[in-house]
Amino acid sequence: MDRRQFCRTTLAASIAASFPALTGCGQGERERAPSAAKADTSIPAVSLDGESIELERAAIRELGEAIRGPVMMSGHPDYDGARRIWNGMHDKHPALIARVSNERDVSEAVSFARDNQLLVSVRGGGHSWPGKSVCDGGLMIDLSALNQVTIDDYDSRAYVGGGALLNNLDTASLEHGLVTTAGVVSHTGVGGYTLGGGFGRLNRKHGLTIDNLLGAEIVTADGKVHHVSKNNEPSLFWAIRGGGGNFGVVTRFEFQLHPFDRNVLSGMIVWPIEQARDVLSFYGEWYDGLSDDLYVGPAMMTMPDGASVVAMEVLYAGDPVAGEKELAPLKGLGKPMMDDVKVQDYMVMQTQEDSTLAHGIRSYAKNGMVKEITGELVDTMLESFVPDPRLAFFTHTAGGAVKRVDETATAFPHRNVETMIMVLAFWEDPEEDHEMMAAGREWFAKLQPFTGGYYDNIEYEGDAVSGNYGPAYERLTRVKGKYDPGNLFRMNSNIEPVTDV
């Protein structure tokens, strides 16, 4: 085991599994494959209320003919590949999968689901941790073909398709010396990630991803296409910045970009677990005075050889000389077993988690928002730690520019937190599902008293009604009632629609 390489890639080397690629098929086979446009029978499906229904042949054919992209049924050579999402725990079979090619296709698919009262899910990057981007028996709207990213150098804008991945956004922006806040796993979809808020390594400097969202194109439950911004349908624009996929299907995003030197001071500092108390106690007293340029957050994990560690992920989005000076107290702490913080390409950090959380891995996560890292929380972090290579503790650092946005300016309510803490379980064997989910819950239950609310993009059991949206919830219900009164878009942390009488 190369411990240095393992630590740098955050558990990547040993747990990433190889999953067989789907084989292609010849043109003749594709022509003979089940096609919605040539459906010769009705098919069973599931309604919005979970009831068994039948989709009539004529309706299926009409959808297949109306949509430019393919509409797949079971038996189509691309069906199994399309229904699979990132988290291998979720093995669901939609009645139909519409791989849309433009906003008109999305409108047709949405209208079909509404008219037939059909359960509908929306797949952007397919990275929904709880598996809400795929459904059993419903219509899956697959945005993966809408993956274009266009950069406007003059206005420093990125125009991003609803099916693009964060890697698409980062790569295109960096080629122009620009960047915006993006997440920490590059094969995550831009859509779901953004609609939930958007934590990333640049959020202390540039805010959450939603704070950089200037506008969007969204198809609502009535099939209409809306172009929203702070000046155009501002209530809907407000709601999609943190309210998740409750309000429609976003087919395009417009982001503000910022000048950026991709060669940044970044890397990992790793200590043996025996030094964890010193490291975490120091961090709890030190982090509050950090500059916006510095993103640094702790993690605790166990390597496959059984050695447990505490680590700090570091990225300094400014002058590396100033960064070295600000980092000096942390770098001089204790006796690190590894310190690879250096000036390197930004994409090294942005992709280092990709193989750890590879497509097909089975994963379960619990998370919560923390306003202050107290001595009592540090004690609990240490006492709750489980030395199992299939489990880990991570953080997403906030503060800085995230806190300087008013908590009601967007639908994202957790502006006053310093960090998000997360317990993550990942494994390969389906026989371990129950064991690993229980282990993740048990570990996080000890940390939960120190949290208030959670990040919808990750949470399995949370629901919008529980108070997670705080003062934003009542307004969200009214926006939901205006744009989706029938709650068509319910495969999410669902907000119940309230219509004005």
Helix (H) or strand (E) holding 104: helix 103-115
C-alpha closest to that of 192 among 178, 206, 209: 209
What is the sign of the dihedral through the CA atoms of 81, 82, 87 and 90? Answer: negative
Is the Cβ–Cβ distance between 122 and 188 less than 8 Å? no
Instruction: Tell me the one-letter amino acid at 288.
Output: D
What is the tens place of the pLDDT at every residue in 435-482? 999 999 999 999 999 999 999 888 888 777 778 998 899 999 999 999
Q: Is 258 helix (H, G, I), strand (E, B) or coil?
A: strand
pLDDT in tens, the chain (501 residues): 344 444 444 333 332 332 233 333 444 455 556 678 887 889 999 999 999 999 999 999 999 999 999 999 999 999 999 999 999 999 999 999 999 999 999 999 999 999 999 999 999 999 999 999 999 999 999 999 999 999 999 999 999 999 999 999 999 999 999 999 999 999 999 999 999 999 999 999 999 999 999 999 999 999 999 999 999 999 999 999 999 999 999 999 999 999 999 999 999 999 999 999 999 999 999 998 999 999 999 999 999 999 999 999 999 999 999 999 999 999 999 999 999 999 999 999 999 999 989 999 999 999 999 999 999 999 999 999 999 999 999 999 999 999 999 999 999 999 999 999 999 999 999 999 999 999 999 999 999 999 999 998 888 887 777 789 988 999 999 999 999 999 999 999 999 999 875
Alpha helices per DSSP H over 244-352: 276-286, 320-331, 346-351
The position carrying tokens 């008109």 is 104
**In DSSP terms, which residues pair with 255 in a beta bridge?**
158, 213
Instruction: Please state whether beta strands 391-397 and 294-302 pair in parallel, antiparallel, or not at all (unpaired).
Output: antiparallel
Distance CA 347, CA 176 (A): 14
What is the sign of the dihedral through the CA atoms of 15, 297, 129 and 352? Answer: negative
In terms of Cβ atoms closer than 10 Å to its own Cβ (0-12, 13-18, 19+), residue 269 is: buried
pLDDT at 30: 52
Q: What are phi and psi of 266, to 5 degrees?
A: -160, 165
Token digits of residue 456: 């919808």
Please give the C-alpha separations between residue 356 and each of 8, 339, 425, in angstroms, as whole numbers: 11, 20, 11
Token digits of residue 9: 């890639």
pLDDT at 33: 62
pLDDT at 10: 37
pLDDT at 159: 98
**In DSSP terms, which residues pair with 397 in a beta bridge?**
419
Instruction: Report CA 425 to chain centroid distance, whole Å.
Output: 16
Q: Where are the beta strands (DSSP E) in 290-399?
A: 294-302, 308-316, 338-339, 342-345, 362-370, 391-397
DSSP structural state of residue 106: H
What's the angle, vertex CA 409, arms to CA 404 and CA 415, rounded to 5?
45
139-140-142-143 Cα dihedral, nearest 10 degrees: 90
Helix (H) or strand (E) holding 201: none
Q: Is 95 helix (H, G, I), strand (E, B) or coil?
A: coil
**In DSSP terms, which residues pair with 396 in a beta bridge?**
420
Is the Cβ–Cβ distance between 94 and 136 less than 8 Å? yes
What is the sign of the dihedral through the CA atoms of 143, 146, 147 and 150? Answer: negative
Q: Where are the beta strands (DSSP E) in 206-280?
A: 213-219, 225-229, 249-256, 258-259, 263-272
Q: What are phi and psi of 342, to 5 degrees?
A: -160, 170
Q: Is 157 helix (H, G, I), strand (E, B) or coil?
A: strand
Q: List domains and CATH numbers for the chain.
A: 3-11+262-450 (3.40.462.20), 33-142 (3.30.43.10), 149-259 (3.30.465.10)
DSSP string spanning 411-474? S---TT-SEEEEEEEEES-GGGHHHHHHHHHHHHHHHGGG--S--TTT-SS--GGGTTTGGGHH
DSSP string spanning 17-75? PP-PPPP---HHHHHHS-BGGG--S-EEEEBTTS-EEEE-HHHHHHHHHH-SS-EE-TT
Token digits of residue 331: 């770098």
Q: Is the pTM of this model over 0.75?
A: yes
pLDDT at 86: 97
pLDDT at 459: 86
